[in-house]
Amino acid sequence: MDEITKHYTNGEVTVVWKPNTCIHSKICWTGLLTVFDPRKRPWINMEGSDTQHIIAQVEKCPSGALSYFMNEGKINDTNPVVDVDTIVEVTANGPLLVYGNVTIRNKNGEEVKKNKVTALCRCGASSNKPYCDGTHVKIGFKDE
């Protein structure tokens, strides 16, 4: 599948959206509906808030589907080392969110280092295991 990437800018910052990476956590639009509103097209309105609020909201994206870059720089989707304790949060009817540095070893033994926030599948239906791909929404996954 081709990777779709969309860019939205206010002249100062550009938000990058990769819809195929989105896990539909709703964190973006429940936190800043004036910018991120899935009922509108385009769904990202860069004039809906100031640059600092937009950046703060993008940085909360657990899947990395949203990233940003300052227009004089490059995309801020590198993997900086996060120097904090690792925290695992169970989201209601959704993925496990792992905050902090974590090493994922796939079934072939290859290791991938993740940081910041990593969303892990909890419903078992993701086509991108061990990562969440939002399938829990489509199948109606509910906590027991």
Q: pTM here?
A: 0.61
Q: How far is residue 118 from each of residues 27, 37, 61, 102, 104, measured CA to CA in Å?
A: 14, 23, 10, 8, 10
> How far apart are the C-alpha atoms of 103 and 11, rounded to whole Å?
36
Q: So what's the pLDDT on residue 83?
A: 53
> How far apart are the C-alpha atoms of 123 and 93, rounded to whole Å?
8
At residue 9, what are phi and psi to the nearest 5 degrees? -135, 155
Same domain, 52 and 94: no
Computed over every residue of the chain, the mean pLDDT equals 86
Question: Both tokens of residue 111?
Answer: 């290791």
- The answer to the question of residue 126 being in a domain is yes
CATH number for the domain spanning 98: value is 3.40.5
Same domain, 62 and 111: no
Hey, what amino acid is at 26?
A: K
Q: So what's the pLDDT on residue 26?
A: 86
Q: What is the pLDDT of residues 34-81, one digit of tens each?
A: 999 999 999 999 999 999 999 999 998 888 889 999 998 555 554 444
Q: So what's the pLDDT on residue 122?
A: 94
- The answer to the question of residue 79 being in a domain is no
Question: Both tokens of residue 107?
Answer: 């079934």
Which has the minimum average pLDDT: 16-20, 34-38, 121-125? Answer: 16-20
> How far apart are the C-alpha atoms of 133 and 143, rounded to whole Å?
17
Residue 8 predicted with pLDDT over 90: yes
| Residue numbers of the domain that contains 12 | 6-70
Task: List the one residue out of 123, 133, 88, 130 whose CA is nearest residue 105.
Answer: 130
Q: So what's the pLDDT on residue 113?
A: 82
Our count of domains for the chain comes to 2
Q: So what's the pLDDT on residue 95?
A: 92
Task: Give me the count of residues in the chain.
Answer: 144
- The answer to the question of residue 121 being in a domain is yes
Instruction: Give the distance from CA 130 to its chain's centroid.
Output: 15
Q: So what's the pLDDT on residue 2?
A: 63
Stretch 116-129: mean pLDDT, rounded? 89
CATH number for the domain spanning 58: value is 3.30.70.20
* Contact predicate 48/120, CB 8 Å: no
Residue 82 predicted with pLDDT over 50: no
Q: So what's the pLDDT on residue 79?
A: 47
Give residue 99's pLDDT band: very low, low, confident or very high (50, 70, 90): confident
User: In DSSP terms, which residues pair with 105 in a beta bridge?
Assistant: 111
